[in-house]
């Protein structure tokens, strides 16, 4: 049985401002670093055997804080990046709604639209699914820590639990928190 410890990076200024980050390389805020220090104490007790991270700064900084405590060298994997939100990046939901951005209004109604210049949900899901297949094959009977992003964690949870895409928005993963999933 493989155990995945899915760890969302700490807060950034954009997280605090409720802006879409996607592939934009935003650093952790002071609050984000503090939260990750607290979280690393809890995760140290779990006994992680292997550690992955997204290459985006907010995930790498979070992982660096964690890896110092658990003494594991993280392995970077670009498949763990957040979804690319294209022109939505740097904007909040309020701004996109006020601008009456058509693809975003459809997105909020559960009609999955690809943001202009962004990544389709299907492509995002396939990249996460490929990572999971490889991870489960390579890390049988191990506890694997994965430092990544809210959307990435949601897709992983849907895949592992066999939930439909409609469940995507019902899953909440706060910055600087973690979710444990086991696959038999």
Burial class (CB in 10 A: 0-12, 13-18, 19+), 160: middle
Question: How would you write 153-165 as a 3-class SS string?
Answer: HHHHHHHHHCCCH
Q: At what angle do helices 150-161 and 121-138 cross, to 10 degrees?
A: 70
Active-site residue, from 9, 61, 119, 149: 9
Catalytic residue at 89?
A: no
Instruction: Please indicate whether residue 9 is annotated as part of the active site.
Output: yes
Name residue 161's beta-bridge partners.
none
- Among candidate residues 16, 75, 82, 149, the one labeled active-site is 82
List active site positions.
Answer: 9, 82
């Amino acid at each position: 049985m493989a155990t995945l410890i899915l760890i969302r990076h700490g807060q950034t200024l954009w997280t605090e401002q409720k802006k879409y980050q996607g592939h934009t390389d935003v650093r952790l805020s002071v609050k984000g670093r503090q939260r990750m220090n607290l979280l690393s104490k809890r995760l140290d007790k779990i006994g992680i055997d292997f550690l992955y991270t997204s290459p985006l700064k907010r995930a790498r900084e979070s992982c660096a804080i964690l890896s110092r405590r658990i003494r594991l060298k993280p392995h970077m994997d670009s498949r763990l990046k957040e979804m690319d939100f294209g022109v939505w990046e740097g904007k909040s939901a309020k701004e996109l709604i006020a601008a009456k951005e058509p693809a975003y209004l459809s997105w909020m109604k559960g009609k999955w639209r690809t943001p202009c210049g962004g990544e389709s949900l299907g492509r995002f899901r396939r990249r996460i699914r490929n990572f999971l297949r490889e991870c489960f094959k390579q890390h049988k009977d191990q506890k694997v820590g994965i430092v990544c992003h809210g959307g990435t964690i949601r897709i992983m949870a849907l895949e592992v639990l066999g939930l439909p895409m409609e469940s995507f928005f019902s899953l909440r993963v706060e910055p600087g928190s973690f979710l444990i999933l086991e696959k038999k």
